[in-house]
Amino acid sequence: MSRGLRIALVVLNLLGVGIAGYLSWVKLTDTEAFCAGVGDCTSVQNSIYAYFLGIPVAYLGLLAYLVLLGLAFYNLRANPEHGSLSYLALFAGAFGGFAFSTYLTYTELFLLRAICPWCVASFINLGVITVLSAAGVFGRGPETETA
């Protein structure tokens, strides 16, 4: 995986931490999310689907993004020849998060009939992270850095 791709994964995961952190703060402080007149964040954030096993999904998203960010930082700093297991962990975590986010987006669209732009942004972000992290697992192999 190229260094540029590894940097992009760090940046995208930082963006995810920002989105999930904001939604976690909204949940923790019981305030309304800023949606700029686009969608209905409050309905989504207060629905029964906003919890998984009694835990707010926003908190789980923040935890997931922090783990993915840690893996992305590790991949950025590690020798590319020794990163195959961490690439696999990053891809598996991103794929799992994207699958869960796909389910949540489905519930927004077809069950709640309300959209949270922050949730959609996280869904798209996780999709891009999943595709990019797949390059580390299914790509041509470790890169050789040249000076």
If we measure between CA atoms, which residue out of 20, 45, 21 comes closest to residue 116?
Answer: 45
pLDDT number for residue 81: 64
* pTM, to two decimals: 0.89
Which fold, 3-138?
A: de novo design (two linked rop proteins) (1.20.1440)
- Residue 47, classed as helix, strand or coil, is coil
If we measure between CA atoms, which residue out of 100, 116, 95 comes closest to residue 60?
Answer: 100
The ranges assigned to domains in the chain are: 3-138
pLDDT surpasses 90 at 138: no
Render pLDDT for 9-20 as a digit per residue (tens, 0 to 9): 999 999 999 999
